[in-house]
Amino acid sequence: MKKLIEFELKKIFSKRLSLIVLIGLLVYSALTALSTYNNKYAFDGKSADGSGKAAVEIDKALGARYEGILTDEKVQQMMEDFALTYDLHGLNAAYIYQNAMQSAVFARFADMDGHWNGLSVSDVFGDEEIRIGYVDGWLSTSKNLVRVFMVLALAVIVMTAPVFSGEYEGVDNLILTSKYGKTKGTAAKVAASVIAALLVTALTAAFNLILAVVLYGKSGWDCSILFASSDYVEGFIPFNITCGTLIRYQVLLAFTCTLSVTGMTLLISAASKKQIVAFVASMALFLFPALLPLTETNPLFRYVGLLPFYHVQAISLLSVEQIGSGILYGVWAVPVAAVFVGIGGVVSSRIFLKHQIV
């Protein structure tokens, strides 16, 4: 069995298209991370400003300056430090961006003119203890991971679609007449597809996290996502989770997504006689939920949101009401992935071994 799985993995990874897609995925990850890094801008409110590395340095310095639990005193201090010295000409100060910390405090504690709006920390965050610091790096990474994991899901489809459909193009008769072709041989195909999806997901996640650490460092991992600058939708997740928790959930959901996609694609692959049909049908099925006019406020989203497409759109899924004791609704993606893989693996195997050579 081990040897058969090795051969199936070799088949998956020796396909030129798979290699192109994998290299493309890593290049896309690197370009997205570097482009985001270079597009950073920050002004410290006094004299220093810059973009790219300089901006990150400014944001990190400001993050370090205010690091710790967010208090009313810190809010006042920040409002004073980042007080606007120029006329806004009617612009809402909440949308002014000088640096990540200024944007975060203005979005919540400033009125239209950039003065304190009178709200206290408890008015905005209730009883939650908000740990602040340099979160911009991790939140940028989280934002990029949504795009990268979407491409990852498509890459897994490209890799998995030929697993059965490719055999129908002429090797199936050799496989099905061999001793283990209808038993271990078919099981090895499913196992190798799952292993390939896990490996590629782990590689992609690791590559992106390493890039994040190299570009932004590790600080902010234990800080709350709720004190995010106005750039990030992550700040709208209504739970006080840390950047580390957010990234961990995203990586978990990337795994559940690719596993679900693997199960779904295996099933379509076994049912399609042509690889191209398996590619197109799997991609269409995966992307179909994007066409549904559902948001997380719709009660149906609790169910539709568990489809693999929404696993990578993690912010929506993580915004659904918590299960309890700090566990987010997104963990339901785990049993869903198990169901997808289970059904996909079993049904695709049965279709393959029952099919008649014509």
Give me the residues that bind another protein (CB under 8 A), please. 3-4, 7, 10-11, 14-16, 169-171, 173-183, 185, 356-358
Which of residues 6 and 321 has its CB atom nearest to another protein in the complex? 6
Least distance CB 355 / another protein (angstroms): 9
Of 175 and 213, the one with the shorter C-beta distance to another protein is 175
The number of helix segments (H) and strand segments (E) in the chain equals 16, 4
Question: What is the nearest approach in angstroms of another protein to the Cβ of residue 194?
Answer: 19
Q: How far apart are CA 201 and CA 101, in angstroms?
A: 32
Q: What distance in Å separates the CA atoms of residue 32 and residue 181, rounded to the nearest whole number?
A: 43
Q: Of 85 and 356, which has the nearer Cβ to another protein?
A: 356
Q: Report, in Å, the least distance between residue 172 CB and another protein.
A: 8
In angstroms, the first-to-last Cα distance of the chain is 28
Nearest CA to 233 out of 109, 101, 143, 107 is that of 143
Could you tell me which of 322, 320, 330 has the C-alpha nearest to residue 296? 320
126: three-class secondary structure by DSSP: coil
Nearer to another protein, 3 or 46 (CB): 3
Residues shown for the chain: 358
Q: How far is the CB of 15 from another protein (least distance, A)?
A: 7
Query: What is the spatial distance between Cα 139 and Cα 134, in angstroms, rounded to a whole number?
Result: 10
Q: Tokens representing 52?
A: 């790219």
Q: Which one-letter amino acid corresponds to residue 277?
A: V
Written as one letter, the residue type at 247 is: I
- Min CB(169)–another protein separation in Å: 5
Q: Give the nearer residue to another protein in terms of CB position, either 15 or 302.
A: 15
From CA 295, how far away is CA 113, in angstroms rounded?
Answer: 32
Q: Which is nearer to another protein, 90 or 170 (CB)?
A: 170
In the complex with another protein, the residue whose CB is nearer, 143 or 182, is: 182
To another protein, the closest distance from the beta carbon of 275 in angstroms equals 12
Which is nearer to another protein, 13 or 97 (by Cβ)?
A: 13
CB of 182 to another protein, least distance (A): 7
Report how far residue 97's alpha carbon sits from residue 16's, in angstroms, rounded to the nearest whole number.
45
- Rounded Cα distance between 105 and 108, Å, is 5
* Total Cβ atoms within 10 A of residue 191: 18
DSSP helix/strand/coil, 148: helix
Nearest to 261 by CA among 309, 206, 317, 202: 309
Instruction: Give the shortest CB-356-to-another protein separation in angstroms.
Output: 5
Please, what is the minimum distance in Å from the beta carbon of residue 264 to another protein? Answer: 24
* Residue number with CB closer to another protein (180 or 303): 180
